[in-house]
């Protein structure tokens, strides 16, 4: 069993659906509990999944999860990201020893320098409660695993490194019109965390004054970003079409992909861009960013607050004739690795 709030289009939920599809394809029963089955990702629900809706798109509805878990009695419960661990804690509190093994994936950075000091202190204390209610933690890279051990104070044997399944082309996805000429692409929710304002601010300072910016995603920051675009007179150069089902074509044809977040976990868009042979300029939003961009031939990692460094890095990759990286293929079997972990923890529970 796995759970999520809605299917509004975040990377956590998209990765969850890819994993659920893989588990189903290998003959396993998968139950997905949602606060509400709404959002653009609803069209990507894998065939054969058992869906339970709780009746509200708001986080407090997840308080009802314990009752659903008690009724379904799954072998394991998968928590798809940090955002959801409070719900996992309540399940453990309500069910105690009757709770199944709870496996949580680290989806966002556990060290948050952008937080106010008191908030960061509280967040650190919250992380250190996690070993009390989580059976196991999955990190997507070795550096994120080390961060989980350090920040959660969880024993290393209760942490596994398993990547997300790679994104694949969606055959029946609606085709979007790509910008003519060269462009920068950003893929992600339009939320404050993503700091797309940094990328928009950089646009008029680039050497190529004709380069366009394509931002794929939707969210609460749209109005502010649109106002920024208007204020800077960039209406002809910035395109924000909203959520797209399949961003791979836009990534493939972009001159460079950019990620300017304050914090991330293991940004899937970096892996997706590199799989298409597109270089990436990214802020150092987590310890995993340099693990993914591990060569100067793949892209450039810049400091979060260094606007000059961001402009210089973009200019570097926008220089005409700049060689592109070779497409990088993902290795391993994430779906099988998850299933092996689930089976081991389920057997331990039975024993």
**Range(s) within the chain of domains with CATH label 3.40.50.2000:** 2-166+332-350, 183-318
3-state secondary structure 32-83: EEECCCCCHHHHHCCCCCEEEECCCCCHHHHHHHHHHHHHHCCCCEEECCHH
pLDDT of 113:
81
pLDDT surpassing 90 at residue 172: no
What topology does CATH give the domain 2-166+332-350? Rossmann fold (3.40.50)
pLDDT of 243:
87
Give tens-digit pLDDT for 122-155.
999 999 999 999 999 999 999 999 999 999 999 9
Residues 130, 131, 134, 136: is their CA dihedral positive or negative? positive
The average pLDDT across 93-115 equals 92
Give tens-digit pLDDT for 8-66.
877 889 899 999 999 999 999 999 999 999 888 888 899 999 999 999 999 999 999 99
CATH superfamily label, 183-318: Glycogen Phosphorylase B; (3.40.50.2000)
Least Cα distance to 79 among 132, 16, 155 occurs for 16
Least Cα distance to 203 among 278, 268, 258 occurs for 258
The average pLDDT across 199-214 equals 97
């Amino acid at each position: 069993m796995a759970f999520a709030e809605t299917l509004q289009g975040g990377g956590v939920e998209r990765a969850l659906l890819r994993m659920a599809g893989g588990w189903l394809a290998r003959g396993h029963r998968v139950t997905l509990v949602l606060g509400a089955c709404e959002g653009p990702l609803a069209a990507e629900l894998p065939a054969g999944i058992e869906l339970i809706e709780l009746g509200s798109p708001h986080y407090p509805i997840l308080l009802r999860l314990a009752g659903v878990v008690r009724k379904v009695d799954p072998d394991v419960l998968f928590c798809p990201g940090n955002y959801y661990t409070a719900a996992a804690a309540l399940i453990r509190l309500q069910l105690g020893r009757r709770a199944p093994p709870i496996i949580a994936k680290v989806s966002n950075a556990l060290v948050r320098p952008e937080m106010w000091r008191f908030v960061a202190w509280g967040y650190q204390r919250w992380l250190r409660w996690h070993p009390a209610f989580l059976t196991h933690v999955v990190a997507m890279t070795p550096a994120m695993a080390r961060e989980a051990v350090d920040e959660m104070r969880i024993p290393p044997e209760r942490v596994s490194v398993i990547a997300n399944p790679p994104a694949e082309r969606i055959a029946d996805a609606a085709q979007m019109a790509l910008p003519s000429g060269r462009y920068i692409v950003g893929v992600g929710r339009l939320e404050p965390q993503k700091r797309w304002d940094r990328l928009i601010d950089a646009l008029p300072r680039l050497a190529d004054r004709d380069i366009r910016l394509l931002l794929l995603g939707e969210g609460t920051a749209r109005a502010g970003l649109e106002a920024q675009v208007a204020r800077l007179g960039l209406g002809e150069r910035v395109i924000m079409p909203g959520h797209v089902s399949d961003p791979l074509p836009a990534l493939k044809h972009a001159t460079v992909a950019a990620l300017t977040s304050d914090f991330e976990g293991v940004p899937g868009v970096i892996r997706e861009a590199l799989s298409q042979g597109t270089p990436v300029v990214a802020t150092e939003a987590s310890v995993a960013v340099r693990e993914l961009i591990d060569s100067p031939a793949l892209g450039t990692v810049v400091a979060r607050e260094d606007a000059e460094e961001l402009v210089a890095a973009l200019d570097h990759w926008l220089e005409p004739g700049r060689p592109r990286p070779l497409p990088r293929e993902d290795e391993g079997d994430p779906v099988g690795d998850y299933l092996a972990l689930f089976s081991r923890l389920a057997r331990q529970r039975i024993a």
